[in-house]
Amino acid sequence: MREILKRAIGEGREEIAFGETASYIPELGRVDKNQLGVCVYTSEGKKEALGDTDVRFTIQSISKVITLAVALERCGFYKVFEKVGMEPSGDAFNSLVKLDLSSNYPYNPMINSGAIAIASYLTPIISFKKMLEITRKLCLDEQITLNSDVYLSEMANISRNKAIAYLLESKGIIASGSVQESLDFYVRMCSLNVTAESLANFGLVLALGGVHPETGERLLEEDVVKVVKTIMLTCGMYDGSGEFAVHVGIPSKSGVGGGILSVVDKKMGIGIFGPALDSKGNSIAGRYILRSLSRELGLHMFS
Ligand code: GLN
């Protein structure tokens, strides 16, 4: 396994030069783009970590997986998907074009519009503190905290997400008057500091259908996890989801902090940190690492 990880990291590293950090959030723009780490945690209890796997970085859009799971549990399937779709958008994660032109609802919960809508369903019923507790539990990582520098940096550059939120409010998708608190909740969730190892842990919890890999405790309902993994497969890499599914074939979710969470069903969780992003906002080295691991270990869901 170690040799396979080494080769995969090598393949990923070659791509870093072609990527950039997410400078639209200035604090993320300052991160060293050459960092790279991958952690694999298998259902047999083996954990293998290589590179920068204990470096903290912000979870960003990977938090959309957590908010979706919590919303499905607390609000129910019909409330969540009443005004948020299940279809890939084919557009950038922060696009609002189709939201106004051709669709009345956000395409899915993995893009900003869908996640902000879901944040608005959660703010009246659950505190950020509770969400932090849940995140720590799901990632088997008690050290997760809010990165206030990144939080403040994003809040100071929030115009686009604000535009999305007001558009949602104007369409009655989020309750009137809830824009500010929904955005605050959304950005706080994006600003949680994780590691590649925490993502591998979370990936294994999802791979096992929502069960803690060491204690067997149920952390998420099984049917919720099934929905979440399916949406990760079809929408988790934004407008790169289709190509990624063909080449890698592992349900995954990326974030502009450089993280990728991957779930090899029943077998393993994979966590990656590589802050150089491709033009779609996905970790460029991460994509190549996963492509290599999928090939070498036969992890494609249809292989
Ligand atoms: N906080 C980021 C944003 O809203 C998350 C985007 C992402 O990770 N793709 O722009």
Which atom of ligand 1 is nearest the CA belonging to 255? 8
For residue 24, which atom of ligand 1 is closest to its CA?
Answer: 10
114 lines ligand 1 (CB under 6 A): no
- pLDDT given for residue 104 in this prediction: 79
What pLDDT is stored for residue 266 in this prediction?
97
**Residue 37 forms beta bridges with which residues?**
51, 273
Active-site pick, 33, 38, 55, 61: 61
Quote the pTM value. 0.97
Q: For residue 236, what pLDDT is reported? A: 96
Q: What pLDDT does 101 receive?
A: 78
Report the separation in Å between the CA atom of 44 and the middle of ligand 1, taken as the mean of its atom positions: 33
Q: Is 61 a catalytic residue?
A: yes
pLDDT for res 216: 97
For residue 123 and ligand 1, the question of a CB distance below 6 A is answered with: no
Is-catalytic flag, 256?
yes
pLDDT in tens, the chain (303 residues): 999 999 999 999 999 999 999 999 999 999 999 999 999 999 999 999 999 999 999 999 999 999 999 999 999 999 999 999 998 887 888 888 888 876 679 999 999 999 999 999 999 999 999 999 999 999 999 999 999 999 999 999 999 999 999 999 999 999 999 999 999 999 999 999 999 999 999 999 999 999 999 999 999 999 999 999 999 999 999 889 999 999 999 999 999 999 999 999 999 999 999 999 999 999 999 999 999 999 999 999 998
> For residue 237, what pLDDT is reported?
95
Has 64 been annotated as catalytic? Answer: yes
Which of 58, 110, 154 most suits a substitution to test ligand 1, by most atoms within 8 Å of the C-beta?
Answer: 154
